[in-house]
């Protein structure tokens, strides 16, 4: 915790992004929650919060790296993969690829707006990897509950 705080305070850009998130949370909660702790029903009335959570998980993906085992041989960008090969990839890296996300190092929740946001290829956003994961549904709900509760203090 202490090192995270030191790193944040030394990095002006990170500090400003965290300050912006706090302001965003206050803006999207103030009228809707009226100072009360959020309930699961409240989360549906906070559409901007969902975008904020997705952007947090894009930038600070809980999975630093993931792996898959090739089930059939294939070739990708000149590399040959055989059955049983272990393929490692990193959401941390892919979520910062300019080919996937415009201004990938900028915290911008609006990129996930279903109407006016960016269009992403299938598989571009994988904070928990592909396939069923317990955390994939639990973590966003937990974050969506904790952020508004903390921003009201």
Question: What CA–CA distance (Å, rounded) separates 73 from 36?
Answer: 55
Domain containing residue 81: CATH number: 1.10.630.10
Range of the domain at 69: 2-151
Cα separation, 82 vs 73, in Å, equals 4
Q: What is the mean pLDDT of residues 73-93?
A: 94
Measured distance CA(144)–CA(50) in Å, rounded: 7
pLDDT band with cut points at 50, 70 and 90 for residue 95: very high
Whole-structure pTM value? 0.68
Q: 110 or 83: which carries more pLDDT confidence?
A: 83
Most distant pair of Cα atoms in the chain: their distance: 57
Domain total in the chain: 1
In this model, does residue 9 exceed pLDDT 90? no
pLDDT at 151 over 70: no
- Read off the pLDDT of residues 31-61 as tens digits, 9 standing for 90 and up: 566 666 667 777 777 777 788 888 888 988 8
- Looking at residue 126, what is its pLDDT? 86
């Amino acid at each position: 915790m202490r090192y995270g705080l030191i790193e944040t305070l030394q990095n002006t850009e990170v500090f400003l992004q965290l300050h912006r998130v706090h302001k965003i949370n206050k803006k999207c909660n103030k009228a809707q929650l009226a100072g009360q702790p959020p309930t699961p029903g409240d989360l549906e009335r906070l559409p901007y919060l969902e975008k904020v959570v997705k952007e947090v998980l894009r930038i600070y993906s809980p999975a630093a790296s993931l792996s898959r085992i090739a089930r059939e041989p294939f070739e990708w960008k000149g590399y040959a993969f055989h059955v049983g090969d272990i393929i490692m990839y990193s959401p941390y890296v892919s979520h910062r690829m300019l080919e996937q996300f415009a201004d990938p190092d900028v915290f911008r929740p609006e990129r996930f707006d279903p109407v006016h946001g960016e269009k992403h290829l299938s598989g571009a956003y994988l904070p928990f990897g592909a396939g069923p994961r317990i955390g994939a549904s639990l973590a966003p709900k937990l974050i969506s509950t904790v952020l508004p509760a903390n921003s009201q203090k």
